[in-house]
Amino acid sequence: MTSCTFCRIATGEIPALKVYEDKEYVGFLDINPINKGHTLIVPKKHVQWVYDVVDQGSYWKIAQKIAKKILAELKAEYVMFVTWGLEVHHAHIHVVPRYENDHHKGFLDWEAKVTVSQEEMKEIARKITIIK
């Protein structure tokens, strides 16, 4: 699916700060994060909905690994997972770190983006990258 943004990221056609990659999945920093370390995990094969990903166990295991790395390296208080997937029609898990006194009250405010410089994004990616 050549018009799919996430398919193009998975193939390397669109650059991204990847923090995880194996033969089936890729994880990368969201370019418009709602908190520092906001990561997306997508299957390389185009699938529209998270519930259509065949190997749910592997998919969520990757989300868990990234969450634990975020907790350890970015000192997040906890991590939230969101899978609504309407903005890009390709299955993706949002892994969103939560910090004490962040700008979200309870659930996440998707309009409240944080500004993170490209240099800081690269440093975050370096800290949370999981070598596969």
Q: Which residue among 89, 92, 94, 103 is the active-site one?
A: 92
Tally of domains within the chain: 1
Q: Give the per-residue pLDDT at 16.
A: 97
pLDDT tens digits, one per residue of 45-73: 999 999 999 999 999 999 999 999 999 99
Q: What is the mean pLDDT of residues 23-36?
A: 97
pLDDT tens digits, one per residue of 13-23: 999 999 999 99
Instruction: Please indicate whether residue 92 is annotated as part of the active site.
Output: yes
Higher pLDDT, residue 104 or 24: 24
The enclosing domain of 60 has a CATH number of: 3.30.428.10
Which three-class secondary structure string do you get for the chain? CCCCHHHHHHCCCCCCCEEEECCCEEEEECCCCCCCCCEEEEECCCCCCHHHCCCHHHHHHHHHHHHHHHHHHHCCCEEEEECCCCCCCCCCEEEEEECCCCCCCCCCCCCCCCCCCHHHHHHHHHHHCCCC
Confidence band of 132 (pLDDT split at 50, 70, 90): low
Residue range(s) defining the domain that contains residue 66: 5-128
**pTM (predicted TM-score):** 0.94
pLDDT at 1 over 70: no
